[in-house]
Structure 1
Amino acid sequence: MERRTFLGAGAGATAALALAAPVAASSAPAVPAGAPRRRDTEALLRRWFRDTYRSLDAMYTDFGLTTDKIDVSGDAPVQSPNTSPTNIGCGLWATVAAARLGVVDGDAMRRRLRRTVAAVERLERAHGFWLNWYDAHTGEVLTEWPETGDPVRPFLSSVDNAWLVTGLRIAADADPALRPRVRALLADADWSFYYTPFDADDPVQHPGQLKGGYWTDDDTYTGHWYGALNTEPRMASYLGIADGTVPGEHYWHVFRTLLPGMGQEQEPAGEWAEVDGFRVWRGHYTYRGKKIVPSWGGSMFEALMVPLFVPEGEWSPRSWGVNHRRHVWSQIEHGLREEEYGYWGFSPANVPAGGYSEYGVDAVGMQTEGYTSKGVVTPHASFLAMPFARGHAVSNLLRIERDFGAYHDGLGFRDSVDVRDGTVSGAMLALDQGMIAAALAQVLRPGTLQRPFRRGGFARRVRPLLRREDFGIA
């Protein structure tokens, strides 16, 4: 790991506060003074995208899959041996974005997509879904963790499969020749496999929610369901609702907050309402005077990864649209004013000194022992904020690059920085680079990765649900 020269905490906080104008509660934050002009910003964003895509290209194996991460602490990037469905999905959508932004040509895109789909076709599956860990260089299911030799249980993760399916749908949209192959791959991916139907007489064991996953070695499901709405597993919910394998009522059975009296970060305000014949608790929290529907842990990617693909804010402007901006505001408020780090952007990432951990703003997560910021910022969180607060995000990233040397020329931002002592991660993670690529694509060419999720079952089944959403926070 590397330690960089950086501004002291007091100086960094003062500089940041001077740059940052007050943030509006229900609209995009005001652009900070001193932020680059729009034309200059676009050139900068294109450079950031080009380098980020190069990092993902450095993760691509001869077998055709994207590895979990690369180590960039040495003279040349070193690939990890493992990959997951999410990593593979990231590689697919980043390649499509690269073609649509002119970084690679159409022929190169099609070759890469077809090679990856061919690799995915060779991977072992169960119940129509992909296992959680493979050898990225051979496609074999991992049974031992490469670094430690610890056993790896074969697991079908609902949320990780959602991100691979997202990437496959984007690939099929970009290359019509792949559509029959992707259709065949997804024919058995029935999301009802993870779904427990709602039973009003026993809502604890039959909550109308998706299970976290399934262990194939002993044929058992996880003990938990994904019960928080404003988290990244809602992508699996949307996919299941869109293709008709999960009923639309599932959307109303997932919690905006936990119910009053249940153990959670704060006692929620709100009201009961009846929607589509179901009682829904329209709960919200209040953070530093602003109403917000929390995520589970308070991290950026829980709230803002899904709208890179599904136009939630457009279909639900006074609920999802407002809430997305409130989450950006809460992260800026926490980093610059509450903790006075001088920087912001908190989301699960590589630990700067090694390992992996969750980071977030505890007060906007339901979990009583939620994610805390710990002084660690991750650039992907700022990129996720960029569609909603471009000026603030660019300014924050430029300061992270300048003050910590956290940008690897030619490969993009390193995964995380501890702003308290200047430690910079020596790794780049496929998930985080994939989110950066998708966010930049959304800013530079809005909607370019959303095309498969604006039509078909998404338009017929998901959009009407979001239009009826009312968080009661506007």
Structure 2
Amino acid sequence: MNRRRLLSAAAVCAAASTTSATALSGPRPRAASPTLSTVFAATYRSIEAMTTDLGLTADRIDVSRPGTPVPSRQTSPTNIGCGLWSTVAAAGLGVISPATMRDRLARTVGAVERLERAHGFWFNWYDAHDGSLLTTWPETGAPVRPFLSSVDNAWLVTGLMIAADADGTLRPRVAALLDGADWSYYYTPYDPADPVAGPGQLRGGFWPDRPGKGEPTGHHYGALNTEPRMASYLGIADGSLPGEHYWHMFRTLLPGMGQEQEPEGRYVTVDGVRVWQGHYTHRGRALVPTWGGSMFEALMVPLFVSEAEWSPRSWGTNHRRHVRSQIEHGLLEEEYGYWGFSPANIPEGGYREYGVDAIGMQEDGYHSLGVVTPHASFLALPYAEPEALANLGALARDFGAYDDRYGFRDSVNVATGRVSDFVLALDQGMIAAALAQRLRPGLLQRPFRTGGFGSRVRPLLGRERFSI
């Protein structure tokens, strides 16, 4: 760990208005400070280290041991998507050359073309080294039932669209890949006679080893302010989902249903759909909750889709309030001295959802448990930049959570001082995208501002009126 290159929190705030000088805070002002560009370069090195010779970005690497880390055996559609958009960001920020970007994107797209699929979509787990479908878990030998996840496929499609936008020679190949990815596969149309069975929402996914569409999950993705809305946006944009689907998702669950708090709000009719515009209140602020109260549920999607711009008084206000609730939970409610809570590697090993229970719908929701996740602060940059930079600097200074080789470790238990041994592709991919948006706004958003996103998604967000 190199803690010498970290400046004081005062220097962070002073530099925050200058992109090239923005730096993390730390204790030794004589040393060179890692700018956000430097942090991006270290983060991209972790993506490079996780990417196999086949071109697929693996799930994680252990960075606690000397030498070159070995990528995990498994990868997912989300991990592969993270690798694609991180590579485009690396070229856009000058970390790699355009020629290197094109070579890496082509290699990854070639690997994706060879992956086994069903119903036009990709399975949840593959061997990152040879591309075979995983049927047993590498670490335990436990059986893996192949599954088609709506949200994980959304992140791979996101990465493919960004790759095709960055390299025009890939557009025909990516178009061919996406031609069979019809999001109506996951959609249960709205049935006014039985809105429980027919909610107008997306299934979590299907196990396709059953006749027909396969066996569906027992749940739909009903909460609007969660990361699966990326799948909803993609389907609405390409016309495979009706626009009314957006209004059938829950801002909160309906009054009287079991949830974290009884919501306030009102019923409104939008585009012919009766919508419960509910909200929660946390520390005097009205907001639309996520499912579990985590940062990435709320703020991963706007890395790519301009929600705050297209819906400033609803989505834009809500994003800011979600960040403020996370900050105050860590600093005032729990008095950790640090903040930022999102699903991540458990510092002692494994994986867990972390969040702020009060701003999630789930009655037994995600809890922070003293575990702070650096990627959450990067997601907060557009909404609370000085606080996010100071928080990251404190995690680096006080725990050695920043590594000049591979960026920030995945999580820190601030109660025990234990820092995760791992970096995860998903969380590094979010950091890379957040830094790209900060350093070169719009770089990764171009595919999601035109076409169906401009003509179908943007008007929906423009009509959104959260009751906050």
SS at match of 2:454: helix
> 2:207 and 2:409 mapped to 1: Cα distance?
33
| 1:342 maps onto 2:323 in alignment | no
Equivalent position amino acid for 1:466 in 2: L
Equivalent of residue 361 in structure 1, options 353, 356, 363: 356
* CA apart distance, 1:205: 0.4
Equivalent position amino acid for 2:181 in 1: A
Which residue of structure 2 aligns with residue 319 of structure 1? 314
| 1:193 maps onto 2:207 in alignment | no
SS at match of 1:35: helix
* Contact 2:206–2:216, Cα closer than 8 Å, also in 1: yes
> 2:438 and 2:427 mapped to 1: Cα distance?
17
Equivalent position amino acid for 1:472 in 2: S
Which residue of structure 2 aligns with residue 374 of structure 1? 369
> 2:290 and 2:209 mapped to 1: Cα distance?
31
SS at match of 1:447: coil
Which residue of structure 2 aligns with residue 27 of structure 1? none
Q: Deviations over 1:258-316 (max 9, x none)?
A: 00000000000000001001100000000010000000000000000000000000000
SS at match of 2:35: helix
- Structure-to-structure mapping, 1:73-472, within 5 angstroms: 73-76=64-67, 77-218=69-210, 219-472=214-467
> 2:388 and 2:14 mapped to 1: Cα distance?
11
* CA apart distance, 1:35: 2.9
SS at match of 2:427: helix
> 1:178 and 1:302 mapped to 2: Cα distance?
30
Cα 1:355–1:342 change in 2 (3 A) is: same
Cα 1:165–1:148 change in 2 (3 A) is: same
Q: Deviations over 1:67-107 (max 9, x none)?
A: 00001111131210000000000000000000000000100
Q: RMSD across aligned C-alpha pairs, in angstroms?
A: 1.4
Equivalent position amino acid for 2:187 in 1: Y
> 1:228 and 1:470 mapped to 2: Cα distance?
16
Which residue of structure 2 aligns with residue 35 of structure 1? 13
> 2:102 and 2:15 mapped to 1: Cα distance?
35
* CA apart distance, 1:386: 0.8
Equivalent position amino acid for 1:128 in 2: G
> 1:33 and 1:298 mapped to 2: Cα distance?
31
* CA apart distance, 1:33: 8.6
SS at match of 2:199: coil
SS at match of 1:274: strand
Higher RCO (Cα < 8 Å, 6 or more apart): 1
* CA apart distance, 1:389: 1.3
> 1:312 and 1:91 mapped to 2: Cα distance?
23
> 2:104 and 2:11 mapped to 1: Cα distance?
42
> 1:439 and 1:36 mapped to 2: Cα distance?
21
* CA apart distance, 1:241: 0.2
Equivalent position amino acid for 1:50 in 2: A
Equivalent position amino acid for 1:95 in 2: T
* CA apart distance, 1:410: 1.5
> 1:62 and 1:304 mapped to 2: Cα distance?
31
Equivalent of residue 64 in structure 1, options 45, 55, 64: 55
SS at match of 2:286: strand
**TM-score scaled by length of structure 1:** 0.93
Q: How many residues align?
A: 446
Equivalent position amino acid for 2:88 in 1: V
> 1:164 and 1:37 mapped to 2: Cα distance?
35
> 2:248 and 2:142 mapped to 1: Cα distance?
37
Which residue of structure 1 aligns with residue 29 of structure 2? none
What percent identity do the matched residue pairs reach?
72
SS at match of 1:329: helix
SS at match of 1:192: helix
**TM-score scaled by length of structure 2:** 0.94
Equivalent of residue 44 in structure 2, options 53, 73, 77: 53
> 1:172 and 1:34 mapped to 2: Cα distance?
36
Equivalent position amino acid for 1:135 in 2: D
Which residue of structure 1 aligns with residue 26 of structure 2? none
SS at match of 1:208: strand
> 2:208 and 2:127 mapped to 1: Cα distance?
18
SS at match of 1:296: coil
Equivalent position amino acid for 2:209 in 1: D
Q: Deviations over 1:397-451 (max 9, x none)?
A: 0000000011122110000000001000000000000000000001111111000
> 2:389 and 2:46 mapped to 1: Cα distance?
20
Cα 1:178–1:418 change in 2 (3 A) is: same
SS at match of 1:273: strand
Which residue of structure 2 aligns with residue 10 of structure 1? none
* Contact 2:12–2:386, Cα closer than 8 Å, also in 1: no
Equivalent position amino acid for 1:207 in 2: P
Gaps (5+ residues) in structure 1? 6-17, 20-31
Which residue of structure 2 aligns with residue 23 of structure 1? none
SS at match of 2:143: coil
Cα 1:105–1:34 change in 2 (3 A) is: closer
SS at match of 2:218: coil
Equivalent position amino acid for 1:277 in 2: G
> 2:294 and 2:365 mapped to 1: Cα distance?
9
> 1:350 and 1:467 mapped to 2: Cα distance?
36
> 2:268 and 2:43 mapped to 1: Cα distance?
45
* Contact 2:12–2:389, Cα closer than 8 Å, also in 1: no
* CA apart distance, 1:217: 1.9
> 1:154 and 1:309 mapped to 2: Cα distance?
28
> 1:100 and 1:299 mapped to 2: Cα distance?
29
Equivalent position amino acid for 2:13 in 1: A
Q: Deviations over 1:8-37 (max 9, x none)?
A: xxxxxxxxxx97xxxxxxxxxxxx896351
Q: Deviations over 1:170-201 (max 9, x none)?
A: 00000000000000000000000000000110
